[in-house]
Amino acid sequence: MALMDKHKQVKRQRLDRICEGIRPPILNGPMHPRPLVALLDGRDCTVEMPILKDVATVAFCDAQSTQEIHEKVLNEAVAALLYHTITLSRDDLEKFKGLRVIVRIGSGFDNVDVKAAAELGIAVCNVPASSVEETADTSLCLILNLYRRVTWMHQALREGTRASSVEQIREVAGGAARIRGETLGIIGLGRVGQAVALRAKAFGFGVIFYDPYLPDGVERSLGLQRMATLQDLLIHSDCVSLHCSLNEHNHHLINDFTIKQMRQGAFLVNTSRGGLVDEKALAQALKEGRIRGAALDVHETEPFSFSTGPLKDAPNLICTPHTSWYSEQASVEAREEAAREVRRAITGRIPDSLKNCVNKEYLMAASQWPSMEAATVHPELNGAYRFPPSLINVAAAGGLPGAGAGVESLVSGTLAHGIAPVSHPPHAPSPGQPVKAEADRDIPSDQ
């Protein structure tokens, strides 16, 4: 009799905590076998579904902010997949009542408040390797374009400029420069930075780099020259290429002061993160000729438009829409790896089972989470669905609906995942250290 009373008391405490809406801790053991996984800023789950459909229910939100995310997802999602088009601040993260893991489909994670996530007991992961080649290839393409002025010569012909005589050719191709013997300065020698360095050497560039996080000897293994300070790199570079992550310490790394430290008439390329460059200072430097030309795939405000912002009248500027990460192969690989990371979180331990957890040390320092008893399995639909404000699109098991296969209906009630919320883990220590310059831009720049 006493045992039954004790069991009722435990169940009552669980129900009380559920009513309080307190976020559950990260489980020190396998999650419930049917958790809710949400793709926040996309609508295509065809790559993720085959990997997750036997262990999770997958929802897509197609949202640009948490205000557009359905309440059911905010209340019940235990894992979130996202690209770079949605931002999760502390206030946004606190709206999710049961979130355990966030996986960025790409390398950059500056659109997620990692510190706040750690304090809330949420693991944040990324996919750092899928677009290394694409981003490096695009970076070199932009560098070559600045030196050989292909874009501007194409535009001149489009506008009807004739280039038949030597004098006309000189006028159209004015500013084109020889590459061999030029010095390329790379800021951030991570995966992409190294790939750019190896490609640039084949074109005859002398390559130098600045990266305070790398151990001694890396420069010798790659045959590069290391600069002790950022100023040293800027002074000695004919072209500067950015390949570092964005954090609170390097916002506007390229600004009016650092631009004045660059060589007169140097080039600037950024395929990393838009916040690294003060676009107002860059526009002024381009107009004054202090910077001969610039190529940007990422921008302070995205989606980028030439019609607004400080760069609208800047000369000698190439801009692309945050696409250097993209190829069909890279896109699929990133999505597959992100889904596998979510699967590891669902079937394993957080954060121990995660492959690319970027805030693991803070989560581990926060607390030791107790093991939790799995609740009764709920027989949920095995498919993908969307949570708009009122409608839910339900897909047949095994994938998204094809033509005529979708079913639209109003759904009432809640989905029971059997994950009993308990109190928050203590706040993690503040990650005061700068994020390492890993040089993986995301996919982002789906990246």
Which residues participate in catalysis according to the annotation?
A: 273, 302, 322
What distance in Å separates the CA atoms of residue 253 and residue 248, rounded to the nearest whole number?
A: 10
Here the tokens at position 52 are 């997750």
What distance in Å separates the CA atoms of residue 38 and residue 102, rounded to the nearest whole number?
A: 10
Q: Is 36 exposed, middle or buried (0-12, 13-18, 19+ CB in 10 A)?
A: buried
Helix 132-148 / helix 191-202 crossing angle, nearest 10 deg: 40
Q: Is 217 exposed, middle or buried (0-12, 13-18, 19+ CB in 10 A)?
A: exposed
Q: Is 198 exposed, middle or buried (0-12, 13-18, 19+ CB in 10 A)?
A: middle
- CA-wise closest residue to 210 among 237, 246, 174, 249: 237
* Beta strand spans in 115-175 (E): 123-125
Spatial strand order of the sheet with 384-386 comes to 123-125, 101-104, 77-82, 36-39, 57-60, 384-386, 392-394, 407-409
- Listed in sequence order, the residues at least 6 apart from 433 whose beta carbon sits closer than 8 Å to its beta carbon are none
Q: Is 172 exposed, middle or buried (0-12, 13-18, 19+ CB in 10 A)?
A: middle
Q: Are 35 and 57 in contact (CB under 8 A)?
A: yes
Please count the other Cβ atoms lying within 10 Å of the Cβ belonging to residue 255: 15
Write the single-letter amino acid at 422.
Answer: V
DSSP 3-state of 72? helix
Please list the alpha-helical segments (H only) found in 210-312: 218-222, 230-236, 256-261, 279-288
Here the tokens at position 96 are 């999710």
- How many residues make up the chain in this entry? 447
